[in-house]
């Protein structure tokens, strides 16, 4: 087993990984920017190394500084969390060159799935159902119009290196194609330094359903069922739950087995999530995240399985601790992403947390880096806490979520707590009939 793990991240996920390491008896090294010197992950780690100023580019994305921090501290492995360098294959290759283990998949799989055009082609070759669309990169409006005519409008232009919903433009008619293509490509170039885009059919009312998997280095892979992440704003997830009300046992077995078999063919190891859109009973591969995801705790809750510890175990070349038969699903779990944002406009609301009280009691888990007196800095993602509740069924889980949200106190900054309190009382949420566009329509009408 590893002796010392460096956590190349910040915020709630750095704290989450730290906790797993501590429970496994592994020493921890935190890295931090000068804006984060009072952060919770720094306070909890055995050692910490400042790796640069506030700007992410100069700190949490600064590969030479992070490698130096590993060498100075003597860390033998790195957990990347999510975001930042978690899907950067160049980082993985550099760590390998320095004999430091990356707690995640192989660099070739990160590279393949990080390029959405290549990922889609690979998924198709592996036998996964994909969304109808262009066979690769779209170079000009003429080509785009030909493809769109074949698919039928509306279509969606997507960035090959896309993430966080950027570089994505819907097109409803031929006349808008030229301008939309320029917009998507410029945004992609600006955000990802890669202007390549592709086109696919725009599905009108799908659900976002994703499958959590984890594999070891001996080609054993298990799944932890599905997550329904359809409650989204601007293509970004806000509430995640498992199981999904629209997936029955047969559907679940079908898509999970198909997913696992494809990944076994690839020789995939460590944690990953395959994201699908689900419409009229059909799944369509969208992308694969070759890392731990923000919403992993809901799967952990219903399978009673620690994904982070398992990531560390398999990276240290142990076999998976469980096989599929032993993994039993129980109850229901829902996560709300508590962001430091105005609950109506979702504009960031950094500042000082004057008073912080997290809910607790049966079935309530809060993954957070907050405490009273912490200054939420404007430099990073606005996610400050994840409220995860568990109960025996969906109805009791929602009741528990309601009481936990009511108990949550974060004074001094605005948060999305009031937004969740409102949404979870809506009829459509209560009966599970919401798709990826529901929230946008709800916001327009209210």
Q: Interface residues with ligand ADP (CB under 6 A)?
A: 131, 156, 162-165, 200-203, 206, 208, 232, 235, 275, 277, 286-287, 436
Residue 159, class by beta-carbon neighbours within 10 Å (0-12 exposed, 13-18 middle, 19+ buried)? Answer: buried
Nearer to ligand ADP, 277 or 398 (CB): 277
Nearer to ligand ADP, 273 or 368 (CB): 273
Which among 367, 346, 350, 348 has a CA at the least distance from the CA of 439? 346
Which among 358, 388, 390 has a CA at the least distance from the CA of 371? 358
Residue 165 Cβ vs ligand ADP, minimum distance, rounded to whole Å: 4
Residue 435 Cβ vs ligand ADP, minimum distance, rounded to whole Å: 9
The CA distance from 59 to 56, in Å, is: 5
Residue 334 Cβ vs ligand ADP, minimum distance, rounded to whole Å: 18
Nearer to ligand ADP, 208 or 400 (CB): 208
Token pair belonging to 198: 């592709």
Residue 155 Cβ vs ligand ADP, minimum distance, rounded to whole Å: 8
Nearer to ligand ADP, 194 or 375 (CB): 194
291 catalytically annotated: yes
Angle of helix 307-315 versus helix 296-303 axis, rounded to 10? 100
Residue 203 Cβ vs ligand ADP, minimum distance, rounded to whole Å: 4
Q: Are 194 and 118 in contact (CB under 8 A)?
A: no
User: 386 - beta bridge partners?
Assistant: 337, 367
Question: Residue 408: which region, alpha, beta or left (left: phi > 0; alpha: psi -120 to 50)?
Answer: beta
Q: Are 335 and 49 in contact (CB under 8 A)?
A: no
Catalytic residue among 196, 227, 291, 400: 291
Active site residues: 291
């Amino acid at each position: 087993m590893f002796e010392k793990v460096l956590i190349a991240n910040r915020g709630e996920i750095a704290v989450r990984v730290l906790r797993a390491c501590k429970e496994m008896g592994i020493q921890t090294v935190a890295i931090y920017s000068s804006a984060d010197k009072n952060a919770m992950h720094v306070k909890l780690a055995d050692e910490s190394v400042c790796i640069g100023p506030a700007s992410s580019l100069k700190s949490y994305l600064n590969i030479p500084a992070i490698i130096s921090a590993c060498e100075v501290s003597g860390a033998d492995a790195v957990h990347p969390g999510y975001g930042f360098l978690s899907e950067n294959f160049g980082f993985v290759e550099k760590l390998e060159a320095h004999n430091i283990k990356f707690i995640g998949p192989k660099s070739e799989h990160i590279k393949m799935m990080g390029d959405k055009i290549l990922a889609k082609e690979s998924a198709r070759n592996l036998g996964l159902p994909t969304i109808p669309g262009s066979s690769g990169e779209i170079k000009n409006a003429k080509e785009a119009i030909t493809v769109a005519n074949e698919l039928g409008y509306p279509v969606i232009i997507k960035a090959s290196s896309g993430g966080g919903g950027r570089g994505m433009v819907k097109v409803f008619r031929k006349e808008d194609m030229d301008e939309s293509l320029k917009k998507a490509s410029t945004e992609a170039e600006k955000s990802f330094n890669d202007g390549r885009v592709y086109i696919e059919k725009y599905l009108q009312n799908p659900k976002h359903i994703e499958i959590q998997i984890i594999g070891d280095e001996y080609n054993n892979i298990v799944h932890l069922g599905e997550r329904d992440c359809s409650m989204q704003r601007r293509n970004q997830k806000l509430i995640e739950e498992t199981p999904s009300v629209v997936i029955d046992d047969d559907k679940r077995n079908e898509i999970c087995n198909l997913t696992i078999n494809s990944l076994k063919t690839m020789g995939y190891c460590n944690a990953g999530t395959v994201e699908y859109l689900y419409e009229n009973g059909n799944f369509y591969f969208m992308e694969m995240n070759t890392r731990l995801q923000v919403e992993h705790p809901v799967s952990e809750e219903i399978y009673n399985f620690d994904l982070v510890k398992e990531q560390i175990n398999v990276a240290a070349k142990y076999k998976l601790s469980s096989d599929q038969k032993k993994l039993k699903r129980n109850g229901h779990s829902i996560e709300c992403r508590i962001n430091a944002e105005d609950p109506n406009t979702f504009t960031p609301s950094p500042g000082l947390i004057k008073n912080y009280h997290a809910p607790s009691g049966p079935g309530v888990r809060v993954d957070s880096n907050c405490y009273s007196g912490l200054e939420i800095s404007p430099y990073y993602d606005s996610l400050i806490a994840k409220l995860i509740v568990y109960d025996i069924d969906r109805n009791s889980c929602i009741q528990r979520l309601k009481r936990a949200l009511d108990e949550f106190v974060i004074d001094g900054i605005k948060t999305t707590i009031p937004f969740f309190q409102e949404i979870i009382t809506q009829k459509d949420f209560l009966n599970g009939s919401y798709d990826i566009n529901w929230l946008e329509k709800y916001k327009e009408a209210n």
